[in-house]
Structure 1
């Protein structure tokens, strides 16, 4: 049994009134002095006992009358448990908790957890609840359950926000999708967030919550914030030893609602503070800091730029990982060496690839008859310029070199023969013959594979002219990277084992054309050698939540084990999470609520209505009042007989 108006049960204390009156009005027999009692009649003991029983029955009957009146006004219900009554309108609710980086601001996440616990305290015993968290992505912390203990344990597991960034829409969309398969028709979403403006991106479109889904946004953010952040660190991921590197640049930004006028920025290399700089932000919100320190040496460097002077320290550092590699070792085999630079086959190529200390290549030259296995094995790329043919041992060593991962560039010239080459097994094409064009006629580069990494950094327009070219016949599996204007191949590429081979249709000197005199010549040589060297070029910088570093949940520098090598990588937060500008909870509500939703009465009102519906078919209070009338009549009869 339960009561719809349980406060009336305090009226049971009124049942003590008849007992109190009985005790107060209890009469003591008077003492009368008689000279003789011979004329007095003895009263039977049974009559006295009967009167006592009538008085006790009258007392209990009056207390029962008051108790029944109290029960009637308390409106009892039979066969309805308290849980069922309070769960008369159960709901399926999803609690979405923002755990992105901005929630790390002082006191914000603690406020969110407090609101989450208040949300749990206000749930009905029959409500089912799921919890969704917004971290690197929207994820389900716990699926629908009506067990408060399981929900409390899930909340206790949220010890701190993540370093990730995700949109409010992604969390609401996941919650909306979960509610589509929920048990109850009464569905709701509660969002706990600081309502960062960048997190609200994507809510301006036509997407809305499903009809019938109630939405409650709760703002736990801070109105006045101070924040300094390092939004960018400019340093190349790979440097070449011996080449002067650009200085490290860092961009510092004030992104809170309150300005920060001064800050101190530190540059740390491999965990050691190398340089400090003071930054004035009095008149600007952003400034670029240039450090004087120049990276040098070889190997990997772990770089951190740290700013100090604000209230939000979790985004004060930005990281970068740099690998300083040695120069690419290149061996040039000159098939037409000459003391006259104009006639020397390798002059232009060596000028483009190895001149000056700023070159990323270390070039060694030799001639075919001095090409030894030791020379081949000591380099990363071998270039054959107008080489007629090689010996069987040289060809075998060179083939093994390529299959083991080396690079080979073959540029045939007038010394090259069309007869079967000893390198035919690794070349991507066959030399059919050379074609000398008429005077005034020439070939130009008409097309190239823009998607190929060799051409990723090269311009689109090629102005080189060739009066003589080789006719190439591509082998099966070879890729044609460049074509002349007559559609014949100009450059072929093939992967041989772990290495690569490039075959050109023209020499790389000025004898057959003006290619070495064109601005594109030097970048073409550099990109070709870099492509053939095939040094690992995996990214060294990631944003928290990227798939390749999905197992890492904190920002910083870490070692990533790749298939071919172990590499230092930098994991940073999304700079958008450092922008603490906010939007109102009302604007979020207006952006996502479905206009087809009907206004629902408060839960307390709907529960009261449900109580009345449950009470109507029973009407126990009416039967209790009827019993009270009968007992009142019985009380009247008994009292008249008792005190007559």
Structure 2
């Protein structure tokens, strides 16, 4: 026990006061002369003895009151309790456990779990601990608790390391945040990792732990490692013609402390080995192999380049996809009174699509009077070029085609009559046509309002292809948007230039101008070709996907409103993605390498996912390389700033309250006892 105001203990000398009073008031026996003792009784010895006990007890109570008052004013506290609250004995620590892919090498992760359990086993009752598993981000966290068995159970529940890369900073930041609110100021971070060289050298050493937080690095990486990894594959993304030879290039690297002398590398297409090569690695750490191959089967092809390595399997295979597409089928309906006019109305559009076997589009043209609406299911997009009239039955078939998920592109020109157009397409068009607008005195309009979040606009990539600034419009159709439509482009006079509407499961796009040079110079601008291509890809929901993704990388998927897709992972887990509005959704559970299958009403894709190449580097460094940069040597503020410690210290100093309460009860007892003794 210690005292905040020990000078008040001089008050203990006051204990002599009741002793002096007691001794001074002792009555001496007086002799009284009586004529007779006949009427007096002898005092029983018991009563005399009991009275003496009461007097001594009264003396002790009075002395205790004075002594307790002196002790109370001296503000006593329990030194052991305060030292515990100040962190001299109990500890607060956070175990930061690496679960990245490199921890799958050998029994590294098992040893990491064992090291975490050993740390917990050294803690005592009253200590608190937390667990932060991490890879490129933090995993399920166990908050600071004195229930050490719960933390140990969390460590054991981690089945194995994952396939993600290593990033120390998010986990260390979280551990630092947790320890700043810890109960005890004896705080430390224990980082259990293999200390991969690429992760340590890439660490941002400008950030440090808060003052007063210690760092302990526990390295459990293997001393000697052997690892062959396929780190890169270059392949064609899309193929349009069959039996054409393509070259697939793979890069294999030795990324361990020991390098094998040779390697056997194979190319697999649709899970069948089509070629194998042996490479010599005696004098080098990497090799590049080429595999000439041909494709004859249409659809998405599953490709993989693999190397034989029994030491570390996760990076032995690099997965990729090749999309052997049929050309996107476009049915163009062109209004014309002669072959020459028809050629001019569609010439620019045909030129933008390209000709021959190299084009990703196949365009068929038909005149309105020849269009019956039969066989529309064979086309990805229907395009109306300056079409003035169609039969009601043909329009009904287009509407049914849209309801089932088809797409329609409308580009009205000079020959279109607003009344006839609005009557025929009122259920389909995103806007009603009102009248033609023609700029006067040689003036022109330009595109000023752009909905940049729309998939077409995002795909154009203005930073590479420019924008619409050079396009000059002498005229356009004034339109009145209908309910449910939205504007993608606007002229600088505020009039809509490109509108969209959802019809059933299909889409309709309306340009307020023709796609030739009747009213503008857009076909002569560099933006015209990518605009036409991206518009058709968007309408047909044919967004080219990447040949491969990295573990942890979000995959964007464009879904029409109300649609859904089912994503099946390599191990069979399923995720359903839905979209309430026309927007891009992201699949974020790319947590392992392999093929992810995407299926929906209008979608069937295969996503190839690979581990990060940097995570395959199995060379390690000492923990001190990161620990020296982490520790903040700035002096810590006084511990009383911690609310837990201040509260604990305050409670430990409330002992004087109880002493005063005891003095009150003793005072009452003294009053009762004094009345009984000297009555």
Q: TM-score, normalised by structure 1?
A: 0.68
- 1:284 positional shift: 6.2
1:330, 1:362 within 8 Å by CA — same for their partners in 2? yes
Match of 2:628 in 1: 590
2:245, 2:292 within 8 Å by CA — same for their partners in 1? no
Q: Distance in 2 between matches of 1:147 and 1:487?
A: 65
| Distance 1:343-1:190 versus aligned 2 partners, 3 A rule | closer
- 1:542 positional shift: 4.2
- 1:217 positional shift: 0.6
Structure 2 residue matching 1:312: 3-state secondary structure: coil
Provide structure 1 residue ranges, at least 5 long, that are not aligned to the other structure: 1-79, 599-644
- 1:580 positional shift: 3.4
Structure 1 residue matching 2:263: 3-state secondary structure: strand
Q: Distance in 1 between matches of 2:173 and 2:243?
A: 51
1:93 aligns with 2:93: yes
- 1:441 positional shift: 6.4
1:502 aligns with 2:509: yes
| CA radius of gyration, larger in | 1
Match of 1:177 in 2: 177
Q: Distance in 1 between matches of 2:260 and 2:341?
A: 63
Q: Distance in 1 between matches of 2:152 and 2:455?
A: 53
Structure 2 residue matching 1:293: 3-state secondary structure: strand
1:337, 1:367 within 8 Å by CA — same for their partners in 2? no
Q: Distance in 1 between matches of 2:101 and 2:226?
A: 15
Match of 2:397 in 1: 397
1:227, 1:312 within 8 Å by CA — same for their partners in 2? yes
Q: Distance in 2 between matches of 1:220 and 1:474?
A: 66
2:246, 2:292 within 8 Å by CA — same for their partners in 1? no
- 1:134 positional shift: 2.2
- 1:383 positional shift: 0.9
Match of 1:428 in 2: 430
Equivalent residue runs for 1:387-466 within 5 Å? 387-421=387-421, 422-434=424-436, 448-455=450-457, 456-457=459-460, 459-461=465-467, 463=470
Match of 1:112 in 2: 112
- 1:192 positional shift: 1.5
- 1:289 positional shift: 3.7
Q: Distance in 2 between matches of 1:306 and 1:448?
A: 46
| Distance 1:178-1:540 versus aligned 2 partners, 3 A rule | farther
Structure 2 residue matching 1:396: 3-state secondary structure: helix
1:226, 1:310 within 8 Å by CA — same for their partners in 2? no
Q: Distance in 1 between matches of 2:450 and 2:127?
A: 65
Match of 1:197 in 2: 197
Provide structure 2 residue ranges, at least 5 long, that are not aligned to the other structure: 1-79, 555-585, 637-679
Structure 1 residue matching 2:345: 3-state secondary structure: coil
| Distance 1:201-1:171 versus aligned 2 partners, 3 A rule | farther
Structure 2 residue matching 1:207: 3-state secondary structure: coil
Q: Distance in 2 between matches of 1:156 and 1:130?
A: 14
| Distance 1:588-1:529 versus aligned 2 partners, 3 A rule | same
Match of 1:228 in 2: 228
Q: Distance in 1 between matches of 2:471 and 2:93?
A: 69
Q: Distance in 1 between matches of 2:304 and 2:313?
A: 14
1:573 aligns with 2:611: yes
Q: Distance in 2 between matches of 1:446 and 1:92?
A: 59
2:334, 2:346 within 8 Å by CA — same for their partners in 1? yes
Q: Distance in 2 between matches of 1:449 and 1:285?
A: 49
Structure 1 residue matching 2:349: 3-state secondary structure: helix
| Distance 1:505-1:92 versus aligned 2 partners, 3 A rule | closer
Match of 2:597 in 1: 559
Structure 2 residue matching 1:349: 3-state secondary structure: helix
- 1:488 positional shift: 4.6
Q: Distance in 1 between matches of 2:609 and 2:397?
A: 43
1:320, 1:570 within 8 Å by CA — same for their partners in 2? yes
- 1:303 positional shift: 2.1
- 1:126 positional shift: 5.0
| Distance 1:99-1:310 versus aligned 2 partners, 3 A rule | same
Q: TM-score, normalised by structure 2?
A: 0.65
Q: Distance in 1 between matches of 2:146 and 2:291?
A: 58
1:408, 1:532 within 8 Å by CA — same for their partners in 2? yes
What is the total number of aligned residue pairs between the two structures? 515
Q: Distance in 1 between matches of 2:551 and 2:439?
A: 58
